[in-house]
Structure 1
């Protein structure tokens, strides 16, 4: 059941692949990826969060968030920068790189994927990378992003088994052959690759880890989260969730708050508003129908709760107004719904 909550979240926050690069590096080389604010408007306008990734298909290199320690990378490994912090990929850990000009992004977004970049340093080829960006919604509530570290490294340089190995083979094939539909294949492959990296990260978490992903791994909390995601409009109480999750009311409330980071009813309220924001943004439902779909008995009660938590009324959010989002109270009264 825990996997259902993860899948549901990824659908609700609209995870999507955006841009795909084929990079060949000849020593010495270094490539700088700028801040998300300069990339998002060009690769996926309308999204509010950017994730970047780099898969080493041949050779070796280093990945480094500006100001952090370098991460050594070998063929068969992937690094995902979950916040797309400015970072450098390079042949040596101490190499610097100038941020790319806007012309590079303009050319990339105007052309056909994958975009080939030859980092010619004058020496022999030391690496081949397939890189790209994923975008998703961070507002009003994306517990996954809050649970992830800035960088995740996954894979096994000694083996091409598993999904990452398959991703590399398929990506290399699509890059080389450029068949019809390759852009769609590459973007979907990147989404699947990210999900596999998330699975590997969850499996590697230490027992004492807290956060949303740690909650998914806990059999009882995973059940409670899956129930909330599966039936958000249901009139859940802590007692009902505890009964379905095979825990006492007190134990569920304490464990949920300690590991997930908020009480169960608070999580339910925030998840309802995430669903509501997505439905409103889609523009296919009016405020009253959205209120009913997430479990509110009246449009007025829903509108009050939405504005209290999100910072803007539902009607404003539907029109694309985000000013004030996240500035409202984190609490939304579930007794009104």
Structure 2
């Protein structure tokens, strides 16, 4: 159940572009500005140093992979070291639920990485500087595979005391409530009904949700419905009214108000802007 729910959310994270670069000179560190793209890096040879503002430095060795979701991170190859860096431009709204649950630096030592991850990183490194037809699409798919596997492996050994969406999946009551909402997003869930379904009182489930995710179940459900709706807007040509019904809104107007409140635009105009942006990018 946990992994199905995790996959469900991972499918909503859309990478708009992925650019990779090989860095072997200590003078050319990888910096991640706050609010910028996701930074992914794997050490291909030797060592590198990850510096996080306000935290202890992390020494990276050959085969280690790091993901910096929110900026404020610098990764510097040490003398003799080489790394491949990926800048992953993503839909900030679609990725928000997942990224909020990550640390500022997500570090996977080489021993925890799947063997094929190093091969994919090597393919990205070999493709740097060449632009054959279709390469942009290939790099995005490659980056999405690396991103999904990184999150999956991180989830498997989530540290004690972790907070956020991934931590919620580790709680048997919260994870069952999340699965119910993901399985039937249009159902008019109440906290009381969810609590009854997972075997907790209304107040106990409310408290566990707040502790793990930092938000109550009804707020999470509202965000999940909008995130699911945004994916449908991008991946289908269905009318807004049909999508609104599928994600649990009684009318197109109610969905549009909720969508604008969360995303900043009505769904129809947001869809047009996203389609136009993708056409320009391609």
Answer yes or no: same fold by TM over 0.5: yes
Pair 1:246 & 2:243 matched: no
The DSSP-based 3-state class of the residue aligned with 1:147 is: coil
| 2:266 aligns with one of 293, 313, 324 | 313
Q: Does the 8 Å CA contact 2:209/2:217 hold for their aligned counterparts? A: yes
Structure 2 residue runs of 5 or longer lacking an equivalent are 275-282
SS in 1 for 2:155: helix
The aligned residue for residue 107 of structure 2 is 153
Q: How has the CA–CA distance of structure 1 residues 182 and 127 changed in structure 2, closer, same or farther, with 3 Å as cutoff?
A: farther
Partner of residue 166, structure 1:
116
1:273 equivalenced with 2:234 (yes/no): no
User: Does structure 1 conserve the Cα–Cα contact (< 8 Å) formed by 2:49 and 2:77?
Assistant: yes
Residue aligning to 1:62? 49
User: Structure 2 vs 1, CA of residues 187 and 147 (structure 1 numbering), >3 Å: closer, same or farther?
Assistant: same
State the partner residue of 2:30. Answer: 33
Contact 1:32/1:86 (8 A) holds in 2? no
Which residue in the other structure is 2:161 paired with?
208
Q: TM-score, normalised by structure 2?
A: 0.80
Question: Which of the pair has more CA radius of gyration?
Answer: 1
RMSD: 3.2
Check conservation: 2:23, 2:77, Cα contact below 8 A. Answer: no
- Bigger shift: residues 142-151 or 271-280: 271-280
Distance 1:185 1:303 in 2: 34
Post-superposition offset of 1:56: 0.9
Gaps of 5+ in 1: 38-47, 92-124, 322-337
User: Aligned residue for 1:229?
Assistant: 182
Partner of 2:250: 297
TM-score, L = length of structure 1: 0.69
Question: Offset at 1:176?
Answer: 5.0
- Structure 1 equivalent of residue 149 of structure 2: 196
Q: 1:59 to 1:206 in 2, by over 3 A?
A: closer
Specify the alignment match of 2:5 in structure 1: 5
The residue that corresponds to 1:219 in the other structure is 172
Alpha-carbon distance between aligned partners in 2 of 1:277 and 1:256, rounded to the nearest angstrom: 24
CA distance in 2, matches of 1:197, 1:229: 22
